[in-house]
Amino acid sequence: MDEQITHEEAIRRLRTDMKTSSVATPFATALKIAFQSLRIRFWRSIITIAGIFFAIAFLVSVLNSAVVELAVNPDEGSQVSGTGIRFILTLLAAEPRQAWLVTMSLIVCVIGIANAMLMSVTERYKEIGTMKCLGALDIFVIELFLLESGFQGLVGSFTGALIGAGLVLVSALVKHGFAVMGILPWSQMVINILLATVIGLLLTLLGASFPAYRASQMPPADAMRTEV
């Protein structure tokens, strides 16, 4: 039928147009919006960051306490060995009670992040819908929320790891005196700090991924109909 031919011709022409001009996912713009959103919700961001901060500070304190303990009382028969991830895994395997506590704190942290991001997504339904009307791709919306949470995760994890390691150091000095400084395996402790930061960041992104995905999949009409 006439209508059918016209339609196929029209869709072919539209797709030719699409080849010559694309829709971009501007990273710099996403970064800017994510930062401004964090700034506007400063105190809530701080609370979210605090959740990650404490979980990671706890993780690092468990790890580095064990490092200090091993350095002060070398135990030939210990199952805890190696550095980095291997160290973490053997430590947690050797101390199930600690493993349990660490796991629980990390789970609570991920749930906290997911909750904070769901809230952030919910109160910005209209904004998300508007951006989609302006031509934002789904991936841009995901990018926006992952950047936002990723920044919180990075700041919270890194400061948490530093403070956690600092406290372990202070307690080691108090317990064993200044001489302990000479026998501590510093590189291993630094590796633990970096690893804990990465773990914190990855868990944050994990917690944020579902809310971000949900935000990106919403049809713009639904997004804008929602009154919060």
Partner 1 sequence: MASTQENTVRARAVRKRFPMGEGYLEALKGIDLEIKRGEYISIMGPSGSGKTTLFNMIGGLDKPSDGTVYIDEVDIAQLDAYELAWLRCRKIGYIFQTFNLIPVMTALENVTLPMIFAGLSNDEAISKGRGLLETVGLGERWQHKPTELSGGQQQRVAIARSFANDPSIILADEPTANLDLKTGHDIIELLRKLNKEMGVTIISNTHDPSMLNVSDRIIWIRDGRVDRIEARSDIDINVGTIGGDVLGGVGSADSHGGAAGKHAMDRLTGEATNGGQ
Residues that bind partner 1 (CB under 8 A): 2-3, 6-7, 9-11, 14-15, 18, 21-24, 26, 29, 33, 36-37, 39-40, 126-127, 129-138, 140, 219-222, 224
The residues, any chain, with a CB within 8 Å of residue 8's CB and separated by 6 or more, are none
Residue 11 Cβ vs partner 1, minimum distance, rounded to whole Å: 5
Tell which residue, 34, 45, 27, 59, has the closest CA to residue 155: 45
Distance of alpha carbon 46 from alpha carbon 64, whole angstroms:
26
Nearer to partner 1, 10 or 190 (CB): 10
- Helix, strand, coil abundance in the chain, percent, nearest 5: 85, 0, 15
Residue 155 Cβ vs partner 1, minimum distance, rounded to whole Å: 19
Residue 16 Cβ vs partner 1, minimum distance, rounded to whole Å: 12
Nearer to partner 1, 15 or 97 (CB): 15
Residue 204 Cβ vs partner 1, minimum distance, rounded to whole Å: 21
The residues, any chain, with a CB within 8 Å of residue 107's CB and separated by 6 or more, are none
Nearer to partner 1, 135 or 177 (CB): 135
Residue 9 Cβ vs partner 1, minimum distance, rounded to whole Å: 8
Nearer to partner 1, 3 or 75 (CB): 3
Give how far the C-alpha of residue 155 lies from the chain's centroid of Cα atoms, to the nearest Å: 10
Nearer to partner 1, 40 or 179 (CB): 40
**Are 147 and 38 contacting, i.e. CB atoms less than 8 angstroms apart?**
no
Distance of alpha carbon 31 from alpha carbon 143, whole angstroms:
9
